[in-house]
């Protein structure tokens, strides 16, 4: 995606293939441009996946399948739009969180490595939020990055020790990028929908997406990938987008979808 | 007798690839104006892309017009030795810009009032009549040995010295988070400006880069300013302003493309007319 800025006198590019390109009878020289080249703006998408003991079996299989299936959708969107390059990271959390994908990976060509449940693992969300917060700290992501997206997927209530959930959420919200992030959540099974997930999202216009069955997980991830893909569009009516994706009524406040404007 | 430098202005602007895809126009604007004794004022503006600012292309165009006129007034005052660019002078400049911009918006509205539907949307959102015209603004004036700058909202002002070192003519704004920006359309706009004044006898300015945020957001390097400054200093030593006039529009085009930020990009370069000589003199002194 990066094109050379100082690739004097020629540089490869979409419109000007450069010297030796097939079918070219005339080579159009790029001017020398100051700086170290150009690139699309990064859009960081961090998945926080519940790998507690309760996820074993059909749930984790369905989740792995659905995430793997979501990647080509995001990659196709990335190819079709004009602004963002999507980078994926993933945190697998149970009693403790760990990076499943630590370094941002371009979504194009990403092969999803299946998550594994942790036997008897709990659903401690706070430490996972804190881990994501560290990754979003100033200096850890590009200043020019688009607002990141965070997706929390869980099948159960948070089992954090008292104060643990709040501490992690506070750490996340204390980072400008964490606060500005599009935060989405998928609850696998009705039991998983909780006030905790609403607090993670932090916006009443964005509901928890409930997957009543494992078959629903893929559908909910499609909605998530659409939300992620649309969030960077300049001039997008984010309120209308929320209504379309999540089926909210017209009078729902726009919240996070309406922030690319004046302070 | 003090020698007054001459300056060339080169402007390039391009519609963002994302704007093209979504049917939005180029909402950036740029203008410059020359004054007596080689004084020059330059302004660029970036109309907000959100649908709430549906007249931001007009807002940015009005902004660069009023800013150039107000900055030229300051430049004239400086060239006649009537004033130093103190904080009070700069405050006066920003107040004049905001007042005149609001007047210009009112005049535009008199010609083209909001439709009933537009007015209803404004009322529902509680927006003032200026909000649809929302825009950032970067304006500079050089007069004699003074550089005066004012900026509201995002975008970049970058001073480049003959040795390629860079400086930032106005302070950074912690309010800007990459998604939201301060704006001329806000009620307290005059107070949201950041201003600066620099004595060019102490700061050897070779090139002054003005850019809307689509330019910086396209740069792969982080921070991008040192590399851009170094390259601009080299290019200024190798080429005259005619070369820059040919190149700058293509730089804007590339940064605005789908390989870059995809956003509207406007670049205005203020280039010292004797840039090559200045750089050679500087190199000789260093050696």
Beta strands in A142-192 (DSSP E): 149-154, 182-188
pLDDT at A20 exceeding the cut of 50: no
Closest to A69 in 3D by CA, of A222, A224, A227, A209: A222
Average pLDDT over residues A3-14: 30
Chain B: residue whose CA lies nearest to A178:
B177
For chain A, the farthest-separated pair of C-alpha atoms sits apart, in whole angstroms, at 70
- The verdict on a CB contact (< 8 Å) between B185 and A262 is yes
Q: Which residue has the higher pLDDT, A234 or B130?
A: B130
Residues of A whose CB is below 8 A from B16: 82, 234
Average pLDDT over residues A181-197: 83
For position B271, what pLDDT does the model report? 96
For position B146, what pLDDT does the model report? 93
SS3 label, residue A251: coil
Residues of A whose CB is below 8 A from B216: 144
CA distance A54 to chain B (A): 38
Is-contact A82 B20, C-beta < 8 A? yes
Domains parsed from chain A with CATH numbers: 1-39 (no CATH), 41-258 (3.40.50.410)
For position B285, what pLDDT does the model report? 78
- pLDDT tens, position by position, for chain B (287 residues)? 557 789 999 999 999 998 888 889 999 999 999 988 899 999 999 999 888 999 999 999 999 999 999 999 999 988 777 668 889 889 999 999 999 999 999 999 999 999 999 999 999 999 999 999 999 999 999 998 999 999 999 999 999 999 999 999 999 998 887 778 999 999 999 999 999 999 999 999 999 999 999 999 999 999 999 999 999 999 999 999 999 999 999 999 999 999 999 999 999 999 999 888 887 787 787 77
For position B107, what pLDDT does the model report? 98
- The verdict on a CB contact (< 8 Å) between A36 and B258 is no
Q: Which residue has the higher pLDDT, A144 or B107?
A: B107
Residue B251 main-chain phi, psi, to 5 deg? -65, -45
pLDDT at A9 exceeding the cut of 60: no
Beta partners for residue A153, in sequence order:
A49, A186
- The verdict on a CB contact (< 8 Å) between B247 and A35 is no
Mutating which of B213, B244, B255, B259 best tests the A interface, going by the most A Cβ atoms within 10 A?
Answer: B259
Average pLDDT over residues A168-180: 94
A 10 A CB-CB count for A162 gives 6
Confidence of residue A153 (pLDDT cuts 50, 70, 90): very high
**Nearest residue, CB atoms, A180 vs list B179, B260, B262:** B179
For position B2, what pLDDT does the model report? 59
For position B82, what pLDDT does the model report? 65
Q: Is B8 on the interface with A (CB under 8 A)?
A: no
**Nearest residue, CB atoms, A262 vs list B21, B48, B262:** B48
In percent, how much of chain A has pLDDT > 90? 44
pLDDT at A27 exceeding the cut of 60: no
Mean pLDDT of chain A: 78
Mutating which of A38, A40, A149, A174 best tests the B interface, going by the most B Cβ atoms within 10 A?
Answer: A38
Q: Is A7 on the interface with B (CB under 8 A)?
A: no
SS3 label, residue A100: strand
Q: Which residue has the higher pLDDT, A2 or A210?
A: A210
For position B277, what pLDDT does the model report? 85
Residues of A whose CB is below 8 A from B262: 40-41, 81-84, 234
For position A228, what pLDDT does the model report? 75
Mutating which of B14, B177, B235 best tests the A interface, going by the most A Cβ atoms within 10 A?
Answer: B177
For position A191, what pLDDT does the model report? 72
For position A2, what pLDDT does the model report? 34
- The verdict on a CB contact (< 8 Å) between B227 and A237 is no
Chain B: residue whose CA lies nearest to A141:
B222
CA distance B79 to chain A (A): 33
For position A10, what pLDDT does the model report? 27
Least confident of A56-60, A92-96, A207-211, B132-136: A207-211
Q: Is B235 on the interface with A (CB under 8 A)?
A: yes
Residues of B whose CB is below 8 A from A36: 219-221, 224, 227
Tell which A residues from 227 to 256 touch B, by Cβ distance under 8 Å. Answer: 233-237
- The verdict on a CB contact (< 8 Å) between A40 and B52 is no
SS3 label, residue A222: helix
Q: Which residue has the higher pLDDT, A93 or B286?
A: A93
Most confident of A17-31, A76-90, A212-226, B9-23: B9-23
- Rounded to whole angstroms, the Cα distance separating B160 from B232 reads 8
For position B49, what pLDDT does the model report? 87
Residue count (chain B):
287
pTM for the full model? 0.85
Say what the ipTM of the complex is: 0.91
For position A146, what pLDDT does the model report? 87
Where exactly are the structural domains of chain B?
7-286
- The verdict on a CB contact (< 8 Å) between B228 and A34 is yes
Q: What angle do CA B172, B158, B144 make, to 5 degrees?
A: 110
The CATH architecture that domain B7-286 belongs to is: 4-Layer Sandwich (3.60)
- Rounded to whole angstroms, the Cα distance separating B206 from B274 reads 9
pLDDT at A248 exceeding the cut of 50: no
Tell which A residues from 170 to 199 touch B, by Cβ distance under 8 Å. Answer: 176, 180
For position A88, what pLDDT does the model report? 95
């Amino acid at each position: 995606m990066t094109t050379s800025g100082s690739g004097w006198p020629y540089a490869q590019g979409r419109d000007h293939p450069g010297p030796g390109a097939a079918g070219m009878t005339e080579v159009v020289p790029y001017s020398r441009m100051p700086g170290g080249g150009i690139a699309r703006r990064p859009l960081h998408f961090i998945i926080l996946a519940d790998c507690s003991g309760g996820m074993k079996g059909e749930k984790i299989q369905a989740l792995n399948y659905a995430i793997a299936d979501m990647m080509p959708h995001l990659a196709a969107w990335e190819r079709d739009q004009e602004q963002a390059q999507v980078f994926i990271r993933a945190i697998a959390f149970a009693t403790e969180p760990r990076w499943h994908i630590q370094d941002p990976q371009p979504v194009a060509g990403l092969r999803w490595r299946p998550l594994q449940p942790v036997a008897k693992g709990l659903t401690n969300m706070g430490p996972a939020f804190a881990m994501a917060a560290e990754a979003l700290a100033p200096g850890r992501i590009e200043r020019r990055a688009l607002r990141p997206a965070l997706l929390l997927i869980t099948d159960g209530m948070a089992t954090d020790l008292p104060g643990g959930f709040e501490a992690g959420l506070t750490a996340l919200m204390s980072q400008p990028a964490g606060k500005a992030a599009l935060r989405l959540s998928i609850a696998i099974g009705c039991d998983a929908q909780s006030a905790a997930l609403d607090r993670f999202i932090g916006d009443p216009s964005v509901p928890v997406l409930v997957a009543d069955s494992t078959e629903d997980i893929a559908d909910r991830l499609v909605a998530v990938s659409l939300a992620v893909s649309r969030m960077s569009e300049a001039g997008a009516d984010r309120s209308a987008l929320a209504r379309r994706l999540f089926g909210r009524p017209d009078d729902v406040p726009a919240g996070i979808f309406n922030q690319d404007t004046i302070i | 007798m003090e020698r007054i430098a001459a300056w060339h202005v080169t402007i390039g602007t391009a519609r963002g690839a994302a704007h093209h895809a979504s049917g939005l126009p180029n909402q950036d604007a740029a203008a410059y104006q020359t004054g007596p004794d080689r004084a020059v004022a330059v302004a660029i503006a970036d109309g907000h892309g959100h649908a709430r600012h549906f007249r931001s292309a007009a807002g940015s165009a009005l902004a660069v017009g009023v800013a150039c006129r107000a900055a030229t007034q300051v430049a004239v005052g400086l060239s006649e030795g009537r004033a130093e660019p103190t904080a009070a002078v700069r405050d006066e400049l920003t107040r004049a810009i905001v007042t005149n911009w609001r007047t210009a918006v009112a005049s535009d509205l008199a010609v083209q009032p909001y439709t009933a539907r537009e007015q209803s949307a404004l009322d529902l959102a509680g927006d003032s009549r200026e909000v649809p015209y929302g825009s950032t603004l970067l304006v500079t004036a050089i007069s004699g040995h003074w550089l005066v700058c004012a900026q509201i909202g995002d975008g970049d002002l970058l001073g480049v010295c003959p040795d390629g070192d860079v400086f930032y003519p106005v302070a950074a704004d912690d309010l800007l988070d990459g998604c939201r920006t301060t704006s001329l359309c806000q009620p307290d706009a005059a107070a949201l400006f950041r201003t600066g004044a620099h004595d060019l006898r102490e700061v050897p300015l070779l090139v002054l880069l003005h850019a809307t945020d689509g330019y910086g957001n396209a740069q792969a390097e982080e921070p991008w300013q040192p590399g851009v400054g170094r390259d601009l200093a080299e290019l200024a030593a190798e080429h005259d302003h005619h070369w820059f006039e040919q190149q700058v529009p293509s730089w804007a085009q590339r940064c605005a493309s789908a390989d870059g930020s995809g956003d509207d990009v406007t670049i205005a370069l203020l280039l010292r007319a004797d840039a090559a000589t200045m750089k050679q003199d500087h190199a000789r002194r260093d050696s």
